[in-house]
Amino acid sequence: MKLQNAVLQLPSPSTEELQKIQPLLNQICTEIDKHNGKLDFTRFMEMALYTPDLGYYASNKAIFGEQGDFVTAPELSPLFSRCLAKQAEEVLTNLNCEGDILEFGAGAGTMACDILMELDTLNCLPKNYLISELSDTLRKRQQSRIATYAPHLLDRVSWIDELPESFTGVMLGNEILDAIPTHRVRFNQNGEHEQLFVGYENSQLTWIGCNPDDEFLMSEINNIFNKFGQGMPDHYETEININSIQWIKKISQTLDQGLALFIDYGFTESEFFRPERSEGTLMCHYKHCAHSNPLTHVGLQDITSHVNFTSIAEVAFENDMTISGFTNQTYFLVGCGLESLLNEIDINDTKQFITETQPVKVLILPDEMGELFKVIGLTKNYDHDLMGFRTKNMLERL
């Protein structure tokens, strides 16, 4: 099957890019055929992102930065990671420096490197900095970055394939929840709700609506419709991420004592299912162009869905975790001492001051990342306040 450029406003893939992703498209179409012409979107998203050597995160394609498709907060400014390091320091200190750090999906390794260097300065290094990373390609980039910028700390870092049986310390996930493959559904006012699958027709991937094939998913669909369906327009499309629910359960089983901290873009449940959000929350990135069609540029673009933080909080609570904090990125960074870090920059060096402070505006301004990105802190056997939520804790919104 040949890829057709279904979104005209996006940059067209090069001939070389099309050739590289052809094997991935062939595998996806074979998988569709195996499942009677329709593939669960969770499986499609998993294949598009994580197929070894071919998926978006598993290939050698540039992902982050100007030459890639998007820029994450750690890539914008080291102050982001230094703030996270201060939150980690607080927790590790309260654990008598017995805890480790576990980062999920470490990207290019920028955040891991900056956190380690800041904790080294603060004299609060963990014995172990674990990285859970599905992509072998990104593992190599992470190792290279740490070896280049913090070689004396590389021996503290190790990469894991499975969650440890037990963990004490700080778990960190920046833009990890949004990349967990999700289900996609359609609510119909006649009550005949549909699960959206991926098929192909006339050499182009397409959506197929069918009855849900999973009892738990059907139960979630009915629960959401009972809460919000009255205000929804007919044929309302959205996402329900069962995989993230299962993953948080595993996190709870692993964490013995400490903090699991997640930063991501998303909404509370009432905001997530607002009537005007009738086309869902899928977000794709290709060469710094954002759009909502995951069925084009397959293997060449990132595919994400916004996080339903209420769902994350509920499953955490049901699995013996404490929801210790929920706020937006601006309030969290301020709570972790962003202002004092900014004061370290020499205001008399105008060029350097502008260079270092301009990216911070992207991190904290409401119309940039400051409001859309939320931070949730989940703790277990940890009876201390968290500095990142002291400026403004918005738990009541969950």
pLDDT tens digits for 214-273?
999 999 999 999 999 999 999 999 999 999 999 999 999 999 999 999 999 999 999 999
How does residue 350 score in pLDDT terms, banded at 50, 70 and 90?
confident
Distances (CA, A) of 31 to 24, 25, 297: 11, 10, 18
Look-up of token digits 């089983």: 253
> Closest Cα to residue 41, out of 199, 200, 210, 197?
197
Alpha-carbon gap, residue 104 to 171, rounded angstroms: 8
Total count of residues recorded for the chain: 398
Q: What angle do CA 264, 265, 269 make, to 5 degrees?
A: 105
Neighbours of 177 (CB within 10 A): 28
Confidence tier at 9 by pLDDT (50, 70, 90): confident
pLDDT of the residue at 1: 40
The sheet that has 302-305: what strands, in order across it?
Answer: 289-291, 282-286, 302-305
User: How large is the greatest C-alpha to C-alpha distance in the chain, in angstroms?
Assistant: 67
What's the pLDDT at 30? 96
Task: Determine the pLDDT at residue 346.
Answer: 86
Q: What DSSP assignment string belongs to 295-363?
A: TSSTTTSEEEE-EEHHHHHHHHHHTT-EEEEEEEHHHHHHHTTHHHHHHTS-TTSHHHHHHHHHHHHHH
DSSP 8-state symbol, 366: I
Give this prediction's pTM. 0.95
DSSP at 275: T
Say how far apart CA 378 and CA 333 lie, in whole Å: 17
Evaluate if residue 360 carries a pLDDT over 80.
yes
Residue 59: partners with Cβ closer than 8 Å, 6 or more residues away: 20, 53, 137, 299
338-345 contact pairs (CB < 8 A, 24+): 338/79, 338/83, 338/364, 341/79, 341/82, 341/83, 342/79
Tell me the average pLDDT across 1-5. Answer: 39
Residue 7 has pLDDT above 90, yes or no: no
Helix (H, G, I), strand (E, B) or coil at 200: strand
User: Do residues 240 and 183 touch, judged by C-beta distance below 8 A?
Assistant: yes
Question: What does the pLDDT read at residue 8?
Answer: 47
In this predicted structure, the answer to whether residue 178 has a pLDDT above a threshold of 80 is yes
Q: Pick the closest to residue 107 from 68, 155, 51 (CA basis).
A: 68
Average pLDDT for the chain: 94
CA dist 196 to 34, 185, 192, 213, 236, Å?
17, 5, 13, 10, 12
pLDDT digits (tens, 9 = 90+) for 184-203: 999 999 999 999 999 999 88
Please say whether the beta carbons of 282 and 49 come within 8 A: no
Can you tell me the distance from the alpha carbon of 273 to that of 296, in angstroms, rounded to the nearest whole number?
25
Query: CATH assignment of 1-180+244-398?
Result: 3.40.50.12710
The answer to whether 92 touches 169, Cβ cutoff 8 Å, is: yes
Give strand ranges (E) for 156-288: 157-160, 167-174, 183-187, 194-201, 204-210, 236-240, 255-267, 282-286
Structure confidence at residue 336 (pLDDT) = 98
How far apart are the C-alpha atoms of 280 and 306, rounded to whole Å? 9
Instruction: Judge contact between 268 and 397, C-beta under 8 A.
Output: yes
Residue 47 in tokens: 């294949």
Q: Output the six-digit token pair for 81.
A: 């990671």
Report the C-alpha gap between 79 and 56 in whole angstroms: 28
Token pair for residue 344?
């370290």
Average pLDDT estimate for 76-88: 98
> What is the structure's pLDDT at 316?
98
